[in-house]
Amino acid sequence: MNSVMEYLSRMPESDDRNVLLNNFSYETYPHLISLSGYNRLLSIAKKPTIELMEGEAAVYMDTGFVSPAKLEMLNQILAQNPEVQIAGENYHLVGTVQSTDLVTDSSITLSFALIVPDTDFERFTVNDYDIYLNAVLNPEQVAGKSLLRAILEANEKLDAAGLIYESYLQNMGRQLFYIVAASYITIYLAIIFLIIANTIIGVQFLTWQQKTGRRYKTLIRLGASYETLCYSAGKQIRWYFGIPTAVAAISSIFGIRALFSGLLSSRTKNNIPAMIMISAAMVLLLCVVECIYMVAVKKSGNRYILSLMVPEREE
């Protein structure tokens, strides 16, 4: 892929370009896909097939590993038919980047592969390759019944045949389970840590307030009113809770942005503005919870101050 990297290095510097340069530097032994197998997959997906002449190859990249901007850069390079070597033989990359899912199981993906003619595929692989069979339901089987029922009936026939397979429902159900389970665990841990952190901060303040009880008594003897002391204590509580809350809220803005831009797949990156709005709502909810804790600690502190306002009996 040296020629492709040379074309990339001539493009204006950007994060996408640097990522592609880094990724292609490791693509010394790419996966191979037979042309006939991929064309049958395109036919099933009702997409136009591709044609390759002798000495030509096409690039395949899963959409989970490449963004639209990177695809555009690669397509510009492929338009110049760069030359690459496969097992010492020269090939020209033609067409555009192919990205149709290879199998139903979304966990089986290829970050990069080359589509080559069948004769070259057989020659390079020497019959040492994996075979995945893709199937679609016959429209006649779906007619008059729901898609869910039709898929269940097909699964029963495949189970009876003893075949190892991955159906659309299994893939969708597993992905849904992962998302729901991860969400519940994340929310549960977030609530637990939020309660623990606020409880510790509240107990620390109330303990400090009791340790400085003599100062309150001195101020009371000097004529300080209950309202004045409560106002002073409330101001301290706001600072005590407000500083860590403000730091957490501000840092979360940059953390959320970095998380979404760095870890999300290209499919979900288009929804970053909507996800940022949801995250901002969660940060706002965090601030509301902190305000509730501040009110609770403030009431406890006011009750303690009120207990100090009772005049002590002198004998």
DSSP state of 198: H
Task: Please state, rounded to an integer, the average pLDDT across all residues of the chain.
Answer: 83
Please give the sequence-ordered ranges of beta strands (E in DSSP) within 43-88, or none if there are none.
56-60, 83-86
Q: Are 56 and 84 in contact (CB under 8 A)?
A: no
Interval 111-130: pLDDT, tens: 888 999 989 888 888 888 88
Residue 258 in tokens? 């970095």
Whole-angstrom CA distances from 187 to 174, 179, 180, 190, 251 are 20, 12, 11, 5, 19
The pTM is what? 0.60
b/e burial code for range 149-169 (CB count within 10 A of at least 16 → b): ebbeebeeeeeeeeeeeebbe
152, pLDDT greater than 60: yes
Cβ contact 104:172 at 8 Å: no
Q: Name the token pair of 163.
A: 């075949």
* Residue 285: predicted pLDDT: 86
Q: What is the pLDDT of residues 53-65, one digit of tens each?
A: 888 999 998 887 7
Rounded CA gap, 46 and 102, in Å? 14
